[in-house]
Chain A
């Protein structure tokens, strides 16, 4: 049997699925694959979908995928659910609401456990997005629970971020306005057939009125995911955002560079962390953490420059 990379490049779905597992497990095979595929990335429209639990993100994603497929575009969904901090296990339930198009080759749905205890998006989410992009999907939709650090990270990963709210959340809009409204490119009020929808839309519009960063006025759209109402307009709004950003060359460059930089930063930190774990040396009598940190960094630099590197994908290059 051919290797995973060849099969992946042939469009083999199983090779895609297995590469994603390697990315999740942060294997050296994943590092090598991503280095080989880096040049193939950059053509997908990466859309982030975030919002509080119960806002209807999965139902929205379901309808979004269905209507996107009507236009012929292919779409991958990466649904991220939290890992239990107790057992390390996870329940990944987003497929339940996405039953409709599981026999369509133009749709790929993957559940991913966050595997992070800090609440941030993991390195694996960045890697998985790269892999799905390289496979050739027109759209990569990343669905994440909008809690804590996720909100900031999704803006680093996605080209366009949509934030879902529901009517009747009252003061929660107050809580939301400080941080998350700043990273949303599109605001969606889901379940717009429920009481208070107009009020929620109006409040959100007032909040975003002042902020027009980089020439984009954040739109507030009312949708009913369960019936599909408003989804077509949402799709065309997201396309508009993509057109706007890709036309503004400087803006687009900055965004891509930031994503690359942040991803690289996580990789670098991982290598350093792994090195430290492997070399848990140090004088037990020490009491100064700064001195210990200094020693760790020196040992890392020495290992990298002096001796043969002991980790990272470089090991496997024939040199």
Chain B
């Protein structure tokens, strides 16, 4: 287990979790994504929202440049079984295999296990209390140990 988390201010011990909220694919329903963006910001995180209609490549590039700890995918189109594995393989190809991937949206219970198998850490379906998603991300944002 790594104990060192993302870069921590040596003096203040401050650590800001950075989260990318992304809408992959062709679904235009972004209320959930925006609500999560706001909730995570209010929980003290730095949240980058990509906007709609993102390809897996665009999401991986944004996650790389922005050096996020967490990628949250919001999908209400039903295409999660193809989009999520694509995003995760793009993330891995960019060397981001330690990024925490969570999924929100309309995901049938029967698909949840499939998403876990491809590397998703948590699925937050409709009705998930914001507090649960926030504390999950806070507790599971990955560690890092960079050396100069």
The reply to whether B146 and A4 form a contact with Cβ atoms under 8 Å apart is yes
Which residues of the other chain, B, contact A27 by a CB distance below 8 angstroms? 7-10
Chain B nearest Cβ from A34, distance in angstroms: 11
Chain A nearest Cβ from B20, distance in angstroms: 9
10 cross-chain pairs, A with B, having the tightest CB-CB distances, nearest first? A96-B51, A89-B41, A17-B67, A25-B7, A22-B7, A92-B48, A88-B44, A3-B147, A89-B44, A21-B67
Of B55-63, B76-84, B104-112, the segment with at least 4 beta carbons within 8 Å of chain A is B55-63
The reply to whether A95 and B48 form a contact with Cβ atoms under 8 Å apart is yes
**Which chain B residue shows the least CB distance to A28?**
B10
The reply to whether B67 and A4 form a contact with Cβ atoms under 8 Å apart is no
Q: Return the CB mask of A266-279 against B: 1 if under 8 Å, else 0.
A: 00000000100110
The reply to whether A26 and B11 form a contact with Cβ atoms under 8 Å apart is yes
Interface residues of B (CB under 8 A from A): 6-11, 14-16, 18, 37-38, 40-51, 54, 57-58, 61-62, 64-67, 94-96, 144, 146-148
Which residues of the other chain, A, contact B18 by a CB distance below 8 angstroms? 21
The reply to whether A90 and B47 form a contact with Cβ atoms under 8 Å apart is yes
Given A3-B147, A91-B47, A96-B51, A25-B15 contact (CB < 8 Å): yes
The reply to whether B11 and A277 form a contact with Cβ atoms under 8 Å apart is yes
Which residues of the other chain, A, contact B148 by a CB distance below 8 angstroms? 3-5, 29, 32-33, 36
Given A3-B147, A90-B41, A14-B94 contact (CB < 8 Å): yes
Interface residues of A (CB under 8 A from B): 3-5, 13-14, 17-18, 20-22, 24-30, 32-33, 36, 83-84, 86-93, 95-96, 99, 102-103, 108-111, 113, 115, 274, 277-278, 311
Report the Cα distance A24→B7, complex, angstroms. 9
Chain A nearest Cβ from B75, distance in angstroms: 18
The reply to whether A110 and B7 form a contact with Cβ atoms under 8 Å apart is no
Chain B nearest Cβ from A24, distance in angstroms: 8
25 contacts across the A-B interface (CB closer than 8 A)? A5-B148, A13-B65, A17-B64, A18-B67, A18-B144, A22-B146, A25-B15, A26-B11, A27-B8, A29-B7, A29-B146, A29-B147, A32-B148, A36-B148, A87-B41, A89-B40, A89-B46, A90-B47, A91-B38, A91-B41, A92-B49, A95-B48, A99-B51, A102-B57, A109-B65
Report the Cα distance A277→B8, complex, angstroms. 17
Q: Which of A5, A25, A84, A109 has the most CB of B within 10 A?
A: A25
Which residues of the other chain, B, contact A22 by a CB distance below 8 angstroms? 7, 146
Return the contact of B43 from the options A32, A89, A95 (Cβ within 8 A). A89
Report the Cα distance A28→B9, complex, angstroms. 8
Return the contact of B58 from the options A18, A36, A103 (Cβ within 8 A). A103
The reply to whether B44 and A91 form a contact with Cβ atoms under 8 Å apart is no
Report the Cα distance A105→B57, complex, angstroms. 12
Which residues of the other chain, A, contact B50 by a CB distance below 8 angstroms? 95-96, 99
Which residues of the other chain, B, contact A109 by a CB distance below 8 angstroms? 62, 65
The reply to whether A95 and B62 form a contact with Cβ atoms under 8 Å apart is yes
Report the Cα distance A108→B11, complex, angstroms. 29
**Which chain A residue shows the least CB distance to B18?**
A21
The reply to whether B67 and A102 form a contact with Cβ atoms under 8 Å apart is no
The reply to whether A17 and B66 form a contact with Cβ atoms under 8 Å apart is yes
The reply to whether A25 and B14 form a contact with Cβ atoms under 8 Å apart is yes
Q: Which of B10, B37, B38, B43 has the most CB of A within 10 A?
A: B10
Report the Cα distance A91→B64, complex, angstroms. 18
Report the Cα distance A22→B44, complex, angstroms. 18
The reply to whether B38 and A108 form a contact with Cβ atoms under 8 Å apart is no
The reply to whether B47 and A92 form a contact with Cβ atoms under 8 Å apart is yes
Chain A nearest Cβ from B91, distance in angstroms: 12
Which residues of the other chain, B, contact A18 by a CB distance below 8 angstroms? 7, 67, 144, 146
Which residues of the other chain, A, contact B147 by a CB distance below 8 angstroms? 3-4, 29
**Which chain A residue shows the least CB distance to B48?**
A92
Which residues of the other chain, B, contact A115 by a CB distance below 8 angstroms? 16
Return the contact of A87 from the options B15, B43, B58, B67 (Cβ within 8 A). B43
The reply to whether B6 and A26 form a contact with Cβ atoms under 8 Å apart is no
**Which chain A residue shows the least CB distance to B38?**
A91
Report the Cα distance A300→B65, complex, angstroms. 38
